[in-house]
Chains A and B, each alone.
Chain A
Amino acid sequence: MIAEIGHYALALALVFAAVQGTVPLIGAARGDPRLIGIARETAVGQAAFIAIAFFALMACYVVSDFSVATVAQNSHTLKPMLYKVAGVWANHEGSMVLWVLILSLFGLSVALAGRNLPPPLRARVLAVQGLIGVGFLAFILFTSNPFARLDPAPIEGNGLNPLLQDPGLAFHPPFLYLGYVGFSMAFSFAVAALIEGRVDAAWARWVRPWTLAAWCALTVGIALGSWWAYYELGWGGFWFWDPVENASFVPWLIGTALLHSAIVVEKREALKSWTVLLAILAFSASLLGTFLVRSGVLTSVHSFASDPARGVFILMLLVLFIGGSLVLYAARAPALKGGGLFAPISREGALALNNLFLCTAAAIVLLGTLYPLILDALGGGRVSVGPPFFTATFVPVMIPLLAAVPVGGMLAWKRGDLPGVLGRLKLAFGAALLAAIATLSLASIKSLLAALGLAIAAWLIVGALWDLASRLARARRLPRSAWGMTIAHASVGIIVAGITASQAWQVEHIALMRPGDVAEVAGYEFRFNGASQIRGPNYVAWRGAVTAMRNGQPVAAMTPEKRTFPVERQTTTEAAIHTTWLADLYVVLGEPDGAGAWSIRIYYNPLVPWIWVGAVMAALGGVVSLTDRRHRIGAPVRAARPAAQAAE
C-alpha cells in the first residue's frame, strides 16, 4: 500500500510540475497576476508530493518490503539501518527520486523565500524549474519506476553492493545532487532572464547565493567521493581521473567560473551574456554528468543498470534542455547590452582570465572523458585515457591560473595597478621562493614539479592571508564575503600542497609478511602480528593486526580488514589508516599465501589529509560568503505584507 501511495504521489507531482512549467509562463507573458501566482502553489504541491513519494520509498526500505523490486534488488534484512536508509539512493531508481526531491526543494525555497524577486521573474524561474521537473519525473515514471512490485515477493533481498555500504558513500550522493541540481537554479534564472531580455546587477545578486550554495555542496560531494575512493578501494590514491569522477568535476570547474563571473555582473554590469552562458553550461554539465553516470555508457560502481531505454530518454532530455536553452541564448543574448569592454589589468580583467582558464580546464577534462566514448562509437577501437593524459594537460592549465589568484584578488576594479599589487605581494613571493628552495634542498627525492607545487601553495596561502591582513589594516570591519574569499583561496593552497606532496613523495611497499615480521617504510616500522577471523553484522572478515612504530616506540595499532559479504558474494578491502595530519600511514591486508604469511601493502602518504581539510575549508569559505550581508539584504522580510499574502 505504501508503495502505491508513493507511486501515485509521483504521478501527482508530475501533474503539478506540468502546470508549474506552463501556466506561469503564460501568466508572466500576459501580465496576469492570478496565473503568475499559480507558480508558487504548484511548486509547493510538487515538492510535497515528491517528498511523500521519497519517504514512502524510504519506508519500504526500512521495513524491508521485498515485494517492491528495487528494495529486493538492493536491500537485505541484515543490513545495518544506516545503509537501509542510504540504500534508497544507492540504486538508479531511488537516486533519481532523490534528484527530483532536491530539485523540488530548490523550487520550494524560491517559492517561499523569493518574495524580494519581481513576481514575473519568480514565476518564470519556477516555470523553468517545473519543466525540468516534468522531464525527470516522466523519466522516473516511464523508465525507472522505483515502486514496481514483484510477484511473488522474494523472502530475502539481494543486498547492497558492499563497496557502497560505507558512511562516506551514504552521504556522497545527497551532497553531489545538491550541487548538480543546485546549478538548476542558476540555469532557471538564466533562462528566465533570457525570456525577459534583462540581466542586471540585481539579477546577479539573486543568482549568486544559489550558485554558491550549489558549489559548496558539490565541493563536499566530490571530496566525500574522493575520500571514499581513498580508504575503500585500497590503492592508496584519492583521484583516479575516472570518467565518473570527471563527470562531477566538469560541473565543478564551470560552476567555479560562474561564481566568479557573476561577481563581475553584480559589480560592473559586464560579462553579462557570458555569465548567462556559463549558468546554462554549468547545469548542462550536471545533466551530462547524470547521463554519463546513469545511462550505463560508462561502466563503474555507479552504473547500476544499463537499460538502453533509460539512456535514450536521458539523452532526449539532455538534447531538449541543453539544445533548447542554447537556442534561446543564441536568439536573445545579443539583446543583453553589456557594460562594455573593461581594461585587461583590473579586477574584472582578472576574473575574465580566471574564467578563460577554468573553462579551458573543463573542456580538457570533458574531452579526455568523452574521447574514448566517441572513438568507440565511430569504430576506432577501444582506448583508455588515464591519469598521464590529465596530468599532462590539466596541470599546465592550472599552474598559471593558481599563480594569478593572489594578484587578481588584490587588483582594483576598473583600473588595477599591477606593479603596485606585485609589490604588496613581496611577502607571499618570498614565502613561495622559500618553499621552493626548502623543497629542493631538504626533500629526499628532488623534483622540480614538487618544488613548483609547494611554491604555488605557499604563494596562495600567504597571499590570501596577507591580502586579508592589509584589508583589515585599512578597514575595521570587513564584509563576510572577504573572509569567505580568503578562506576559499587559502584552502586551494592547502589542497595544492596535499596533492603535490602525495604525488611526489608517496612511498609504496609490498611484502609477504609472517607474524612477527617488521617492514620499514619511510622511517616507520610496521610489525605484522598476524590475522584473525572476525564476524561483522552482515559479513565475515580477516582482520590483520599491524603495529606501526617509530624508533621502536608504538605509534598506532592498525587493523586492516578483508571483508567477505556472503549475501552479495563479494569481498572488500578495508584499509587501516593512521593520520598524523602531516601524513597518513596506510596499511592494506592482501592475500594469505596458505602457509601463514600474508601479502601486505603499506603506503606512506604525505600531506594527503590536507586535501580533505582543504576541501572542507573551501566549502566553509563558501558558506561564510553566503552569510554576507549583501545576500541577506532584501532577503525575505517577514510579516509586513499580510494583506498581500492573503490575496496570493
Chain B
Amino acid sequence: MTRKRRRLVFVVLGMLVLGGATALVLTAFEDSLVFFYSPTDIATRQLPADRRVRIGGLVEAGSIARGADGLSVRFVVTDLANTIPVSYRGVLPDLFREGQGVVAEGRLANGVFQADEVLAKHDEKYMPPEVVDALKKAGRWQEGATK
C-alpha cells in the first residue's frame, strides 16, 4: 500500500466516524432535547404536542392532594402569575414541600401536566435556576426572598 493510499484510508475513516457522530448528534438533538416552560409560558404559548418538556415554579401552598392509593399526588405549580396542575405517581423527593421550588419533567395532557419525574434538589436553600428565571419573567422574584 502506498503512502498516499494509507493516508486516504485514515482520512476516509476519520471522516466516516466524525460524519456518523455528527449525524447521530443532530438526530438526537431533534428528538431528545427537553425544553423548559414556566406556567406563564404554558398559558400564553402553544406547547409542542407530544413532546417531553420540563416545567418549574413554586409548589402552591395548600395544593398538595394525595390519591387514595397513597402514591399518586396532585399539586399546583405556580410562578405567582399563572398556575398549572401537575399529577405524579411515585415517591416524591425528600425536599418536596409547599412553597418550595420544583422542576418536573413529563407531558401536558388535557390541561394537566403528567409528570413522570419530579427532580430532587440537593438542599433546601437551592432554587432551580429555571424557577428563578420563571419567577423573574413573571415579575415576582425577590432577591434573597427564598434564602
Q: Which residues of A contact B (CB under 8 A)?
A: 161, 163, 233, 235, 299-301, 340-344, 352-353, 356-357, 360, 363-364, 367-368, 371, 381-386, 388-389, 392-393, 396-397, 510-512, 562, 568-573, 588, 590-591, 593, 597, 599, 601
Q: Are B24 and A570 in contact (CB under 8 A)?
A: no
User: Assuming the A-B contacts A341-B10, A352-B10, A573-B94, are A384 and B70 also in contact, with contact meaning beta carbons closer than 8 angstroms in the complex?
Assistant: no
- For A367, list chain B residues within 8 Å (CB): 25
- For A590, list chain B residues within 8 Å (CB): 91
A545 to chain B, nearest CB (A): 18
Q: Are B32 and A388 in contact (CB under 8 A)?
A: yes
Set A235, A353, A511, A570: member contacting B13, Cβ < 8 A = A353
Task: Give the one of B27, B90, B94 with max A CB within 10 A.
Answer: B94
Q: How far is the CA of A602 from the CA of B84 in the complex (A)?
A: 31
Q: Are A599 and B71 in contact (CB under 8 A)?
A: yes
Q: Are B25 and A511 in contact (CB under 8 A)?
A: no
- For A235, list chain B residues within 8 Å (CB): 120
B140 to chain A, nearest CB (A): 18
- For A601, list chain B residues within 8 Å (CB): 90-91
- For A381, list chain B residues within 8 Å (CB): 35-36
Q: Choose the segment among B75-83, B106-114, B126-134 that binds chain A (4+ C-beta atoms closer than 8 Å).
A: B126-134
B92 at the interface (CB under 8 A from A): yes
Q: Are A511 and B71 in contact (CB under 8 A)?
A: yes
B136 at the interface (CB under 8 A from A): no
Q: Are B28 and A363 in contact (CB under 8 A)?
A: no
- For B20, list chain A residues within 8 Å (CB): 396
Q: How far is the CA of A368 from the CA of B122 in the complex (A)?
A: 23
Q: Are B123 and A384 in contact (CB under 8 A)?
A: no
Q: Are A161 and B122 in contact (CB under 8 A)?
A: yes
B139 at the interface (CB under 8 A from A): no
Q: Are B24 and A393 in contact (CB under 8 A)?
A: yes
Q: Are A389 and B29 in contact (CB under 8 A)?
A: yes
Q: Are A591 and B91 in contact (CB under 8 A)?
A: yes
Contact sample, A vs B, 16 pairs, CB 8 Å cutoff: A163-B123, A301-B123, A341-B10, A352-B10, A357-B17, A360-B21, A382-B130, A382-B133, A384-B34, A385-B33, A386-B32, A389-B32, A393-B24, A396-B24, A599-B70, A599-B91
Q: How far is the CA of A570 from the CA of B126 in the complex (A)?
A: 12
Q: How far is the CA of A562 from the CA of B92 in the complex (A)?
A: 13
- For A571, list chain B residues within 8 Å (CB): 94-95
Set B24, B70, B124: member contacting A397, Cβ < 8 A = B24
Q: Are A512 and B70 in contact (CB under 8 A)?
A: yes
Closest residue of B by beta carbon distance from A590: B91
- For A385, list chain B residues within 8 Å (CB): 32-34
- For B18, list chain A residues within 8 Å (CB): 360
Closest residue of A by beta carbon distance from B41: A381
B69 at the interface (CB under 8 A from A): yes
Set A363, A512, A562, A568: member contacting B123, Cβ < 8 A = A568
Q: How far is the CA of A583 from the CA of B128 in the complex (A)?
A: 35
Q: How far is the CA of A396 from the CA of B27 in the complex (A)?
A: 13
- For B66, list chain A residues within 8 Å (CB): 593
Set B28, B71, B90, B133: member contacting A389, Cβ < 8 A = B28
B window 83-102: CB within 8 A of A = 89-92, 94-95
- For A353, list chain B residues within 8 Å (CB): 13
- For B129, list chain A residues within 8 Å (CB): 299, 382
- For B95, list chain A residues within 8 Å (CB): 570-571
Q: How far is the CA of A512 from the CA of B90 in the complex (A)?
A: 10
B49 at the interface (CB under 8 A from A): no
User: Assuming the A-B contacts A341-B3, A356-B17, are A389 and B33 also in contact, with contact meaning beta carbons closer than 8 angstroms in the complex?
Assistant: yes
Q: Are B36 and A570 in contact (CB under 8 A)?
A: no
A209 to chain B, nearest CB (A): 29
User: Assuming the A-B contacts A344-B10, A512-B69, A599-B71, are A388 and B21 also in contact, with contact meaning beta carbons closer than 8 angstroms in the complex?
Assistant: no
Q: Contacts A360-B21, A591-B92 given; 8 further ones with Cβ under 8 A? A: A235-B120, A357-B17, A382-B54, A383-B35, A386-B34, A392-B27, A599-B71, A601-B90
- For A569, list chain B residues within 8 Å (CB): 124
- For A512, list chain B residues within 8 Å (CB): 69-71
A546 to chain B, nearest CB (A): 15
Closest residue of B by beta carbon distance from A306: B129
B window 1-33: CB within 8 A of A = 1, 3, 6-7, 9-10, 13-14, 17-18, 20-21, 24-25, 27-29, 31-33
B65 to chain A, nearest CB (A): 13
User: Assuming the A-B contacts A343-B1, A571-B95, A593-B70, are A356 and B31 also in contact, with contact meaning beta carbons closer than 8 angstroms in the complex?
Assistant: no
Q: How far is the CA of A61 from the CA of B125 in the complex (A)?
A: 24
- For B31, list chain A residues within 8 Å (CB): 388, 392
- For A572, list chain B residues within 8 Å (CB): 94
- For A383, list chain B residues within 8 Å (CB): 33-36
B42 to chain A, nearest CB (A): 14
Set B21, B33, B91, B124: member contacting A393, Cβ < 8 A = B21
Which A-B residue pairs are the 10 nearest by beta carbons?
A: A512-B70, A388-B32, A382-B36, A590-B91, A392-B28, A571-B94, A593-B70, A301-B122, A389-B32, A393-B24
Q: How far is the CA of A448 from the CA of B68 in the complex (A)?
A: 39
Q: Are B36 and A384 in contact (CB under 8 A)?
A: yes
- For B29, list chain A residues within 8 Å (CB): 371, 389
Set A300, A364, A588: member contacting B91, Cβ < 8 A = A588
Q: Are A363 and B21 in contact (CB under 8 A)?
A: yes
Q: How far is the CA of A340 from the CA of B4 in the complex (A)?
A: 11
- For B105, list chain A residues within 8 Å (CB): 384
A355 to chain B, nearest CB (A): 10
Q: Are A392 and B13 in contact (CB under 8 A)?
A: no
Closest residue of B by beta carbon distance from A397: B21
Q: Are B122 and A163 in contact (CB under 8 A)?
A: yes
- For B124, list chain A residues within 8 Å (CB): 569-570
Closest residue of B by beta carbon distance from A342: B6
Q: Are B25 and A393 in contact (CB under 8 A)?
A: yes
- For A368, list chain B residues within 8 Å (CB): 25
A41 to chain B, nearest CB (A): 44
Q: How far is the CA of A367 from the CA of B9 in the complex (A)?
A: 27
B64 to chain A, nearest CB (A): 11
B123 to chain A, nearest CB (A): 6
Q: Are A392 and B35 in contact (CB under 8 A)?
A: no
B61 to chain A, nearest CB (A): 19
Set A299, A392, A573, A597: member contacting B32, Cβ < 8 A = A392
A563 to chain B, nearest CB (A): 9
Q: Are B33 and A356 in contact (CB under 8 A)?
A: no
